[in-house]
Structure 1
Amino acid sequence: MPATSTRTTTSRRQFLALLGISAAAVSCGTATASSGGGAQLKKLKYQGAVGAVTLPELAADLGYLGDVTLDWVGNTISGPQDIQSAATGQTHFGGAFNGAVVKLAAGKAPIKAVISYYGSDQYSYGGYYVLEDSPIRSARDLIGKKVGMNTLGAHYQALLDIYLSRGGLSKADAAKVEALVIPPVNTEQALRQKQIEVGVLSGVLRDKALATGGIRPLFTDYQLLGAFSAGSYVMTQRFIKENPDTVRTFVTGVAKAIEWSRVTPREEVIARMTAIVKKRGRNEDTTTLQYWHSYGVAEAGGRIGDKEFQLWLDWLGERGEIKKGQLKAADLYTNEFSGYRKGA
């Protein structure tokens, strides 16, 4: 899920277990791959997020999905859980951090990423924050310190590892930096009470903490890597094969929604999102939508490139969580179904 505060707070062991599903498990799903008789499925089961508007939801409201409709089956705060649901047939698509997609594919799940849906840019990013008077100024200052983040083995631990490596720390020294799971809603408090020395904050939680004052960024993922797409929507290869027109409509519609959100005044996007949340009648708080800045997708129309996966393939290989050379970036995604063309 997007890097605002929507990922799970599971432990690293739970995270790895969640992604350790086999290809056999994929055949046990409950959602049908197609409607039978050669007809393609037009209603897509999916999971949403409380008080937020996902790109497919925005695309549907804008009329970009044509005859394809969305069937909401519940909400999730976990990207790994969301793509597992898609892989096992509980839903028809799911989204997560690209490193989690790599892990799922390494577990022999026959999935394919079809479009990027969140990332980091100058408006939407995750930051590693310290107290204003903290002596921590560099990667080396983190040795022996505690860093709080929403989950281990995922996006924010990957960025921390990259920061430490670029800061010149050996593997032995980097191992002395303690990454801890802290629920996003508790991170600011844990930082201010000095239970941790560094806290990862993003989205509304970051903006509120900065408005209060007394903290400063050590670094952000945008400063570290520049603008980059960090997560993708995935579907099973079987679903793609049996429903190519539906997939094309979905991917193209989401791509158009990405670009609509880029070129439309922010106030208008927020107003549209607020109306969508109110219209669905789930008694959700819409105040956090006022802090929306962008989806952070780097490429036009959410098109995916090798670089979106190679960084995490290298990282997971270095950690020994996948075999080096086990997967090729180009085999993990396809842009075949995007009908969006820049400038169209």
Structure 2
Amino acid sequence: MNPISKIAGTAMALMLVSSLVLSGCSKDKTPSASAAGQNGLEVAELRYQGNVGAVTYPELAEDLGYLAPLKLKFIGNTISGPQDIQSVVTGDTDFGGAFNGAIVKLLAAKAPITPVISYYGVDDNTWSGYYVLDGSSIKTARDLIGKRIAVNTLGAHHEFVIKEYLHRQGLTQDEINQVTLVVVPPVTTEQTLRANQVDVATLGGILRDKALERGGIHPLFTDKELFGTFSAGSYVLTNEFIKNNPKATRKFVEATAKAIEWARTTPREEVVARYEKIIKNRGRKEDTKAIKYWKSTGIAGKGGLIAEKEFSTWVDWLVKEGTIKQGELNPKDLYTNEFNPYLNEAK
């Protein structure tokens, strides 16, 4: 593990220990109980973090009317999946989402959470590339030794993909440790690459497409090339929340699943128009230009159904890395599709 990743991992572990200790005395997790009772649910609202200039599927579900009578309470934005799900553990939010590999690491640390629905993934239209400047001396994985790669956060999707690429290309663990991952806000990643402040930039979605329009860059590899089509991340709830709020849990998952299918089956232009309306109406002073580049959900399972391989892949990877022991985690026990309305259809 390179020094940056090691520090991040240690910090995450310490914060997890603290959060688990504090969970018994965290703030009230059932706001507006009386209002919720009138609607037949245990809670009236769900606290969450959003993404600047983007629309999450729970937000889409609320706008489409699928989530009612539940309401969402926005508490801020994040660009980090690990941070998002840690906020769930500490009781600052009710749900959050992250890359499945990051979730597995938290589950190995005994975090009391359960993934309940997929919310992003990789397909022919939605993927991330790891880009170098045209004319760069970097042609192969071995050329990355001693180089710097920009990622949005540590311990999540891009770190796993990069390390898998390096493993597959035959680099030793010592050589992989010499590849430095640098956290750079996604909106400035392209600029950082063009200014030669990093050697490789992780780009996806609009940021990738706009950078390609400007030219002068090309991908060294992509996550789609490595893993094909798959759901990559899940929303999680705490086990306590699921136990105490089964009706609200089912409502949240059902509404989110329906929103995913709406986005999957509705003409792209209509989806983009809806997203633009949501962004404008919520009044967060955001630019809607990015949403025009939306192409697909990227989610593999209907309604966000989670497939076992979407967790077994990362369990096996962490065993290979020496992070967890063989047999320590059973992928089948790490998630649930119980609340997803498309489960019976899939069976």
What's the TM-score, normalizing by structure 1? 0.89
What is the DSSP-based 3-state SS (H/G/I as helix, E as strand, rest coil) of the residue aligned with 2:25?
coil
How far apart are residue 226 of structure 1 and its match? Answer: 0.5
Partner residue, 2:323: 321
Task: Give 1:222 deviation, angstroms.
Answer: 0.9
8 Å Cα contact 1:48/1:76 also seen in 2: yes
Assess if the C-alpha contact under 8 Å between 2:263 and 2:271 holds in 1.
Answer: yes
Matched with 1:189 is 191
Bigger CA drift: 58-67 or 147-156?
147-156
Query: Quick check: 1:256–1:340 contact (8 Å CA) kept in 2?
Result: no
Confirm or deny: 8 A CA contact 1:43 1:70 kept in the other structure: yes
Which residue of the partner structure matches residue 65 of structure 2? 63
Alignment of 1:149-298 (within 5 A): 149-298=151-300
1:26 corresponds in structure 2 to: 23
CA RMSD of aligned residues (A): 2.3
Among 98, 121, 128, the residue aligned to 1:126:
128
Alpha carbons of 1:82 and 1:173: their partners in 2 closer, same or farther (altered >3 Å)? closer
C-alpha contact 2:41 2:247 (8 A) present in aligned 1: no
Contact 2:48 2:74 in 1 (8 A): yes
Query: Equivalents in 2 of 1:239, 1:277: separation in Å?
Result: 29
The match for 1:13 is 7
Please give the alpha-carbon distance, in whole angstroms, between the structure 2 residues aligned to 1:137 and 1:14. 29
Give the Cα separation in 2 of the matches to 1:99 and 1:53: 23
Consecutive unaligned residues in structure 2, runs of 5 or more: none
Query: Is contact 2:305–2:342 with CA below 8 Å preserved after alignment?
Result: no
Q: What is the identity, as a one-letter code, of the residue corresponding to 2:12? A: L
Task: Describe the SS at the equivalent of 1:235.
Answer: strand
Measured at CA, do residues 181 and 73 of structure 1 come closer, stay the same or move farther in structure 2, by a change above 3 Å? Answer: closer
Measure, in 2, the Cα distance between the counterparts of 1:51 and 1:197.
Answer: 27
Quick one: percent identity of the two aligned structures?
55
Q: Aligned letter for 1:257?
A: A
Q: Aligned pair in 2 of structure 1 residues 126, 148: CA closer, same or farther (>3 Å)?
A: same
* TM-superposed deviation, 1:159: 0.6
> Counterpart of 2:153 in 1: which secondary structure?
coil
Richer in helix (by share): 2
TM (norm. structure 2) is: 0.89
Query: Residues of 2 paired with 1:126 and 1:184: CA distance?
Result: 12
Which of these residues, 112, 115, 133, is aligned with residue 114 of structure 2?
A: 112
Which residue identity does 2:190 align to in structure 1?
E
Q: Measure, in 1, the Cα distance between the counterparts of 2:87 and 2:26.
A: 8
Query: Which one of 286, 295, 307 corresponds to residue 309 of structure 2?
Result: 307
One-letter amino acid of the structure 1 residue matched with residue 230 of structure 2: F
Shift, 1:169, TM fit: 2.2
**1:72-91 maps to which residues of 2 (within 5 A)?**
72-91=74-93
Give the direction of change, closer, same or farther, for the CA distance of 1:285–1:299 in structure 2 (3 Å limit).
Answer: same
Cα distance in 1 for residues equivalent to 2:143 and 2:267: 41
Cα distance in 2 between the residues matched to 1:120 and 1:250 = 23
In 1, the alpha carbon distance for the partners of 2:310 and 2:164 equals 15
Structure 1 residue 208, shift from structure 2 partner: 1.3
- 1:139 Cα deviation after fit: 2.1
- The DSSP-based 3-state class of the residue aligned with 1:118 is strand
Q: Is the 8 A contact 2:98 2:156 kept in 1?
A: no
1:86 to 1:136, Cα distance in 2 relative to 1, 3 A? same
Range with greater deviation from structure 2 (61-70 or 231-240): 61-70
Pairing partner for 1:52 from 30, 51, 54: 54
Deviates more, 1:21-30 or 1:53-62: 21-30
Unaligned stretches of 5+ residues in structure 1: 1-9
Structure 1 letter corresponding to 2:7: R
Q: Deviations over 1:22-60 (max 9, x none)?
A: 332322322425838996113211121222111000011
Taking the aligned partners of 2:25 and 2:324, their CA distance within structure 1 comes to 25
Please report how far the alpha carbon of residue 202 of structure 1 lies from its aligned counterpart in structure 2 after TM superposition.
Answer: 1.3
Task: Supply the distance in 1 between the matched residues of 2:13 and 2:58 (Cα, whole angstroms).
Answer: 24
Post-superposition offset of 1:192: 2.0
**Residues 102 and 309 in structure 1, CA contact (< 8 A), matched pair in contact too:** yes
In structure 2, relative to structure 1, the CA distance for the partners of 1:83 and 1:127 (3 Å cut) is same
CA-CA distance at 1:301 after TM superposition:
1.0
Deviation at residue 340 of structure 1 after TM alignment: 2.6
* Pairwise CA distance, 1:325: 2.9
Instruction: Report the alpha carbon displacement of residue 304 of structure 1 after superposing the two structures with TM.
Output: 0.9
The one-letter amino acid of 1:128's match is Y
Residue-by-residue CA offset, 1:153-200 (whole Å, 9 max, x unaligned) = 221111111111111223233333333333323322232233332211
Cα drift, residue 76 of structure 1 = 2.0
